[in-house]
Structure 1
Amino acid sequence: MLDALTLDQMRTFVTVVDSGSFRAAASKLYRVQSGVSVAIGNLEAQLGVLLFDRSGHRPVLTPEGRVLLSNARDILLRVDALRAKARGLGEGLELELPICVDTLFPIQQVGLAITRVRATYPSVTFRVAIEPLGGPLLALKEKRCTLAIMVGEDFRDPRITFEALCSVAQVAVVAAEHPLARQDISHNIGVMDLADHLQVVLSDPSEVSKGRDFGVLSPQTCRVSTQDAKHGLILAGVGWGRLPLWLVARDLSEGRLVRLETSSLGRKGEIVSEAYLAHRLDEPMGPAARKLAEVLAELSSGSDHIPTT
């Protein structure tokens, strides 16, 4: 009867194929060779087909054995996945891990970390939100995410703990054809020079920074809701603004953007902020969240700054 099939028999079948002989399979399974032979014989009797041709020095799969091998492998894979998922649930493994990432932090870095976490916990699904300024902090406060990556020192809360990851550089840039790029930059560009031109500014969609501006020097502004929109408008020559160096490194090297040498926005128009991994003190992290935190720390430990390429 097919109902009498066991996982042990199927695992023995696959091990014989992979090992090349009953003797090698017995060694791998820590059994005597006769036990392996009995298991395969019982499996063949229950299936009603011969799996191996035993007439030669080594067992050779029969046509029926080749067909059924893929089914056996598939069943064992699914069972192993079921066991792993059950083991993770027993450890309190998260079914879903929601995270919120500051727009200043490269999402590729987060993607690398998620890929490595999934190698350990393949059953966990991820939900990633990208938000500027106070968005990640608000997501934590409202429990919309378990972990957040925040950049800078402007947003703090006593219920949130922070672990430094790396530095993120922002530079003041303008399109190569913009008037600011064509003026003499041998001298430091002053506030009045910048104020004569429109500044592209990222707005905070949350109420966390209501009534506050960050690095706004021009009375002429174009406010946008995403970093990509800010990047695109500056590239189009609409105005000037600050963008993360990792985002504009290629544009600068290929001449599409020009750095603005202005001490009004940091030395040579550059400021460096710390990126932090944040989570709520009153919400313990599960295994996947802890692993993600560990991997992000490892990825960031190789350099003090986010790579610019």
Structure 2
Amino acid sequence: MYSFEQLKVFVTVCESGSFSAAARKLKRAQSGVSQSIANLEIAIDQDLFNREKNIPVLTNTGKALLPVVKSILDQQKYFDQKVESLTQEDEHELIIAIDESIIDKNFIKIISSLADQFPITHFDIITTSTFDVEDLVRRGKAQIGIIYADGELKVDMDFFLLGQARFLTVSSATHELSQMSVVQDSDLKRYRQCVHRSSKQRELWFTYGISSMLWYANNHKTIIDLVEQNVGWANVPEMMVMEGIQKGDLVALPVAHEHGGWITPVGCLVSRSHINGPVLTSLLEKLKGHSLENNQWQAN
């Protein structure tokens, strides 16, 4: 019967190009490497290498078996890591819920290093509205949630601040509101408003509908697309519209009561329904080492 060690030696010889190079890599005697390959060939009753030349050349059988052997060794590594993670009580799965307008490439970069640190843990990233994020964490369906914070004390989950986000009132460059030097509330109410609201029809407390003509969507990307098509105006995250404003497709409206836009805090909810294992602890440490400032996630 062949062994995992023999399979490992076989792959190492293939990758190194010779028995001597494989021996150096494995820190073993060359004779031991040669004997290991010979024993493997006996066990499977197949020739893996043609030894007529100084450099071993894979036979057709060897070529056919090499990818299979690599797969077996990968599965062995996965098994060993899984056993180790269970021993250390690493979480099998970590669910991160985040408001769809807060996530960006920089946020992904922050959490992506956990892939190598915890290779066995499954990560599930859910992007939805702030209200739905809070509901997921409250019901224990997500370990953490990144949201726009309303300042209310959360008695059933933990919370810490992560920074702040700026919201702007915008319209398309061809909208009548974009031609005004100052925009009053009464002006906004005269035109159709595109409003973000959750799947349960809840609106953010600082971007709720004030117009008598309303279109709704449950993600800010769709809201911005509607505004660009001149459907109406909207309050949206600055980090999502800066490019459109710079290109001239969108205009930040000079609203009289919003000098420089609306600033709202961003925070992290932590479920109390889950044990703070190594994976969650590491993620929280990474998040606490960063903040959302000036439209981007950055190290503190």
Per the shorter chain, which TM-score range? 0.7 to 0.9
Higher mean C-alpha deviation, range 71-80 or range 162-171: 162-171
Aligned match for 1:104, one of 90, 101, 106: 101
Q: Give the partner amino acid of 1:85.
A: K
After the TM superposition, which residues 173-252 of structure 1 pair with which residues of structure 2 at under 5 Å, given as runs?
A: 173-183=170-180, 185=181, 188-206=182-200, 213-216=205-208, 218-222=210-214, 224-226=216-218, 227-252=220-245
* One-letter amino acid matched to 1:260: L
Aligned to 1:21: 18
Counterpart Cα distance in 1 of 2:195 and 2:80: 50
Give runs of aligned pairs for residues 10-159 of structure 1, distance below 5 A: 10-113=7-110, 115-159=112-156
Task: Report deviation, 1:11.
Answer: 0.5
> What is the alpha-carbon distance in structure 2 between the residues aligned to residue 237 and residue 259 of structure 1?
14
Q: Do the aligned partners of 1:202 and 1:225 also contact (CA within 8 Å) in 2?
A: yes
Q: Distance in 1 between matches of 2:152 and 2:175?
A: 33
CA RMSD in angstroms comes to 3.0
Counterpart of 1:222, as a letter, is L
Offset at residue 13 of structure 1 (A): 1.2
Compute the TM-score of the two structures, normalised by the length of structure 2: 0.84
Structure 2 residue matching 1:9: 3-state secondary structure: helix
Opposite residue 203 of structure 1, the aligned amino acid is: R
Larger deviation: 189-198 or 139-148? 189-198
**Is the Cα–Cα contact under 8 Å of residues 191 and 217 in structure 1 kept in the other structure?**
no
Residue 26 of structure 1 deviates from its aligned partner by 2.4
Kindly provide the CA deviation profile for residues 150-205 of structure 1, in whole angstroms up to 9, marking residues without a partner as x.
1234444033223333432211101112111122x2xx433333333333332344
Query: Structure 1 residues 243, 6: closer, same or farther in 2, change over 3 A?
Result: same
Kept in 1: contact 2:192–2:215 (CA 8 A): no
SS state of the match for residue 31, structure 2?
helix
What is the TM-score of this pair, normalised by structure 1?
0.81
**CA-CA distance at 1:296 after TM superposition:** 4.6
C-alpha distance in 2 between matches for 1:28 and 1:229: 55
Secondary structure in 1 matching 2:90 = coil
Task: Give the structure 1 partner of residue 157 of structure 2.
Answer: 160
Q: Given residue 218 of structure 1, which amino acid in structure 2 is its aligned partner?
A: I
Identity %: 25
1:276 is aligned to 267
Q: Would the alpha carbon gap of residues 71 and 251 (structure 1) be closer, same or farther in structure 2, given more than 3 Å must change?
A: same
**Matched-pair contact (CA < 8 Å) for 2:140–2:274:** no
Of 289, 292, 295 in structure 1, the residue corresponding to residue 280 of structure 2 is 289
Task: Kindly provide the CA deviation profile for residues 38-79 of structure 1, in whole angstroms up to 9, marking residues without a partner as x.
Answer: 211111111223323334333333333233222221211121
In the alignment, structure 2 segments of 5+ residues that lack a partner are none
Q: Deviations over 1:278-298 (max 9, x none)?
A: 202453233333344445556
Task: Give the C-alpha shift of residue 14 in structure 1.
Answer: 1.2
The 2-side partners of 1:168 and 1:38 are apart by 65
Aligned residues: 296
In structure 2, C-alpha distance between the alignment counterparts of 1:85 and 1:195, rounded to whole Å: 58
Is 1:253 paired with 2:221?
A: no
**What amino acid is aligned across from residue 236 of structure 1 in structure 2?**
Q
Distance 1:238 1:110 in 2: 31
Quote the offset at 1:105 in angstroms: 0.6
1:99 counterpart SS class: strand
Offset, 1:108: 4.3
Q: Would the alpha carbon gap of residues 203 and 20 (structure 1) be closer, same or farther in structure 2, given more than 3 Å must change? A: closer
